[in-house]
Every structure is written in structure tokens, then in C-alpha cells.
Chain A
Amino acid sequence: GESVGLHLPTLSVQEGDNSIINCAYSNSASDYFIWYKQESGKGPQFIIDIRSNMDKRQGQRVTVLLNKTVKHLSLQIAATQPGDSAVYFCAENPPGQNFVFGPGTRLSVLP
């Protein structure tokens, strides 16, 4: 993903609403993907992963969707809470290579 410098894309949602965060990945050969959550001043925290042989995977309040045709990944958070406020970024893993990370999206939950 291309970095947008200090101005990360921001998604603002009302508390209780659902959030959808998107990620475009670059390598059509990537066969494994992870979504991370990073709070200010902390290390990234694993949220959910998905392999390329799947198009959907659900966790607790989170769902990841994979569209390999358009190289698109999304993270859906149900009933967004204030504690969900953070930067979310995706990571793609081409076979035999290291992860490539997107620049992230800042999620802001409004009271």
C-alpha cells in the first residue's frame, strides 16, 4: 500500500454502528493475510487472519472478507465500541516472502 504520510485515512463511526475497513493488497500471489489493530504507542495486535482458499472468516465481533479477483480485503467490526478506536492495517504474505504491510486506517468511534 502507498503511504499517505502523517494523514492516515480516517473512518469515523458512531458507537454501536458497524465499521468496515478496507485494504487493497498488491500481490496476486499472496496466500495469507492478517488484520492488526494498533493503539497509540503500542505494538500491533493480531485480530484475525485468512488464507487465500477462503473468502470469509469470522471471529468475535469481527469478520474478514477476501476478494482475490480485485485484490481487496476488508475488516468488519460489529457494534463498534470506544475501545475499538485505533489504527487498523492489513498484511499480505506472498509465498516464501516476508509480510507486506499497508499504511493503515484510523478508526475513530464517536460517542
Chain B
Amino acid sequence: SQTIHQWPATLVQPVGSPLSLECTVEGTSNPNLYWYRQAAGRGLQLLFYSVGIGQISSEVPQNLSASRPQDRQFILSSKKLLLSDSGFYLCAWRTGQVMFFGSGTQLSVL
């Protein structure tokens, strides 16, 4: 069966520090992969999506970047975090119609 792993679960980082969040999917090949951000009480904001290795589409210009070095690995990065980068980050995957989410990373930038 397919599973998605996302880590860490929580992260507290100072302003100006780098960021790397990792997501891996098991049990499926060539999935579409997604990074979303969810602010408290708000809907999901699509940040990046990827339909294949090295293929990244950015939905919102900002302080973040994404990479897909392997078929089932998706990484969200930042060189210098801003206070406004705080939020709940979710990785998701999709091979057919249904989209499944990881457990999320609560990022607090202080």
C-alpha cells in the first residue's frame, strides 16, 4: 500500500536560518507531488507541485524553493527564513484522481 512520510513534525527556526523539509512516498511510481501551506484557520495554499524528477512548478513567488531529486522524494527549502514563513506545511501525492496528504510539519519562525 502507498504511504507518505513527512518530517520533521515540528520545527522551530530563527529568522534568517535555512530550511529543509523532506517528503517521501512509498508504494507508488511517478506520483504527482505537492507542497501546501496552511495558515491557522485557512484553506490550503499550493506552493509547488511536481509531475516528475526535476520538474517543479511554482504557484506562489516567495522565499521558498522545491526540488525533486528522486521520483518519490520532494524537498521544500529556504535559504533564509522569514517570520511570515511560519505555518503548517503539508506534502501530498497523487497518481490517479485522489490526493493523499502527509502528517504535516508545524514550522515556527521566531
Measured CB to CB, the residues of A under 8 A from B are: 1, 3-8, 32, 34, 36, 41-46, 49, 89, 91, 93, 98-99, 101-104
Contacts and interface: CB of A to CB of B under 8 A. Distances in A.
A3 B44 CA distance: 10
A49 B102 CA distance: 18
Specify which of A32, A43, A91, A102 lies most central, judged by the most chain B CB atoms within 10 Å of its CB.
A43
A49 B41 contact: no
30 contacts: A1-B43, A3-B42, A3-B43, A4-B41, A5-B41, A6-B40, A32-B97, A34-B99, A36-B101, A42-B103, A43-B90, A43-B101, A43-B102, A43-B104, A44-B44, A44-B90, A44-B101, A46-B98, A46-B99, A46-B100, A49-B98, A91-B99, A93-B97, A98-B34, A98-B46, A98-B49, A98-B59, A99-B99, A101-B44, A103-B41
A36 B38 CA distance: 14
Specify which of B34, B101, B103, B106 lies most central, judged by the most chain A CB atoms within 10 Å of its CB.
B101
A46 to B, nearest CB: 6
B88 to A, nearest CB: 8
Contacts of A1: 43
Contacts of A91: 99
Interface in B50-69: 59
Interface in B76-104: 90, 97-104
Nearest to B102: A43
